[in-house]
Amino acid sequence: MSENILPSCISLPLSGKELEEIVSKAKDYALMHGICMRSKANFNPDNLQFAPFVLTPSLYPRKEFEKATKLQIILNKMIHNVAHDVDFLRETLASTIKVDDFTASLFKIYETVLSEGVAQEISLGLVRSDTMLETRKSCFSKSTCMPSRSFYCCVAMTITLGLLRSDYFVSDRNKILQVEFNTIASSFAGISSQFREFHSYILQELGHDDKVKYLPENNALAGLCDAMVEAWKIIGDDKAAILFIIEDVTYNICDQRFHEFYIREKYPHVKVIRQSLTEIFKEGKLGDNKTLIVGNVTASVVYFRAGYEPGHYHSENEWAARLMIERSTAIKCPSVHYHLAGTKKVQQALAKPGVLNRFLNDENEIKQVKEIFTGLYSFDKGEGGDETVKMVLEKPENFVMKPQREGGGNNIYGVDIPERLKAMDETERSAYILMERIFPPISKSYMIRPGGPNPPPIFDMVSELGIFGAIIGTKEKILYNRQVGHMLRTKVSSANEGGVAAGLGALDSVYLTNEF
């Protein structure tokens, strides 16, 4: 078998009758256990369909999985320190805010709050760092040693403000490298926490009870929710609520509601309310001492599941609501400076020589973080932008251009880059960074989607590992720092994007192996 193809955890393909029966059971299990979403194509708030899933769990090197989970604590601390470094954010985003209206609007709120005096020094970070495995045995310098393969996957390091997640890639064969760090609305902790039991059921039904032990525990939902309640306790107002900021229409409803239901079940004295930014503008106000009041309820913790893309701000009203929240004494997840710390431009700046020393003071920790960075380059004129353009035009298939956006579907890949670059002037291209693509190993299994073919075909797929983290603290002191769980998203190897909520990928489980 090729070194770039991971074997399946069970023998595939399944026989026709066996496949038909297990797919039917898997769909029903998903529907009856909340592994579901609302349909974007045929939206009805009263209807759910199962979320896309991979039928059998995907192999993952135990060593790299454990590396990613252990590293998350360091990444939490790193991004927390980045978010609280005013000069660094100003310097790093100076060119971006000239050409990116969305980031500029966030930065305007940031500067307003700084000028008025920050009402709440404590931030809650619920983040996710996203990574992928790299099959190439080479460093990531100036597009050298690039493979001739046509498939690839590019993972993102995602940091969710308040709830963190990190994703990684590796610079040696089948080791992790970081794609993105999410600092706002890091999703799928709720549904991913169901997947160990889901795939345990599938394996047992197929007669592979002995393989269940290779599926690691996943307490992502509990970890994120416990951190929200920990922040709520810090404020100390027993009558205050945790406020979820939501979209006007929520498709990923089960994942969001699982957070609310967990809090209400484990902490029945803690109230949870849900409001859109539009509703906050109409019903919210600042009370005495800048407390945030929504209707007749004080909100002491704000958890953003919306607000990460321009489409969530329909008018100046939504921006006014965001500013009001930032001016309040509520603990924000994320606060606006955490949101800015999760931009792609900051990610690119952190990869520059010597920059990590500004945020981490332990040489071993700095070394561990550096090892997961892939090639990241600036398009800014004063930062070698012309050299970056020349490099990508020579071999565009080895790169991806990323704007300052979350939510998927915003990147420019490979052969599409030259035409888009030629249409931009030097200022416009500063809204993007350039990242070297990661070439992960291929796995094979069935991807089950609502309305998909029956029987389903076996696909060549690639996976992205996200590690969730939770951190609470001020600029001076970290009060709480945890790695809390993980998620695995898998997509067809020929696809550029892989977001489940965006309809481009499927949820999966890690099946740990010592073989790679």
Which sequence spans correspond to the domains of the chain?
Answer: 16-513
Bridge-based pairing state of the strands 399-403 and 58-61: unpaired
How many CA atoms are closer than 13 Å to the CA of 116, on its beta-carbon side?
17
Which tokens belong to 91?
């310097």
Count CB atoms within 10 A of the CB of residue 49: 17
Which of 409, 412, 387 shows the shortest CA–CA distance to 397? 412
Residue 117, annotated as binding a ligand: no
Residue type, 209: D
Distances (CA, A) of 193 to 189, 223, 262, 434, 485: 6, 10, 12, 33, 8
Residue 381 pLDDT:
82
Degrees to nearest 5, angle at CA 242 with 406 and 252: 40
Residue 327, annotated as binding a ligand: no
Residue 420, annotated as binding a ligand: no
Residue 16, annotated as binding a ligand: no
Which of 72, 62, 19 shows the shortest CA–CA distance to 466? 72
Residue 403, annotated as binding a ligand: yes
Residue 180, annotated as binding a ligand: yes
Bridge-based pairing state of the strands 241-245 and 297-304: parallel
d(C-alpha 412, C-alpha 419), whole Å: 10
Give the three-class secondary structure for 305.
coil
DSSP 53-115: EESSPEEEEHHHHHHHHHHHHHHHHHHHHHHT-HHHHHHHHTTHHHH-HHHHHHHHHHHHHHH
d(C-alpha 23, C-alpha 44), whole Å: 25
- Residue 471 DSSP code: E
Tens digit of each residue's pLDDT, the chain (516 residues): 345 889 999 999 999 999 999 999 999 999 999 999 999 999 999 999 999 999 999 999 999 999 999 999 999 999 999 999 999 999 999 999 999 999 999 999 999 999 999 999 999 999 999 999 998 754 444 333 333 333 333 333 333 333 454 544 334 578 999 999 999 999 999 999 999 999 999 999 999 999 999 999 999 999 999 999 999 999 999 999 999 999 999 999 999 999 999 999 999 999 999 999 999 999 999 999 999 999 999 999 999 999 999 999 999 999 999 999 999 999 999 999 999 999 999 999 999 999 999 999 999 999 999 999 999 999 998 888 999 999 999 999 999 999 877 666 688 989 999 999 989 988 888 889 999 999 999 999 999 999 999 999 999 999 999 999 999 999 999 999 999 999 999 999 887 665 665 556 899 999 999 987
**Neighbour-count burial of 335, counting CB atoms closer than 10 A to its CB (0-12 exposed, 13-18 middle, 19+ buried):** buried
Residue 2 pLDDT:
46
**What pTM does this model have?**
0.91
Which tokens belong to 244?
């979820």
Active-site annotation, residues: 128, 180, 182, 187, 344, 402, 406-407, 489
Residue 497, annotated as binding a ligand: yes
Which of 52, 54, 57, 50 shows the shortest CA–CA distance to 28? 50
Residue 426 pLDDT:
87
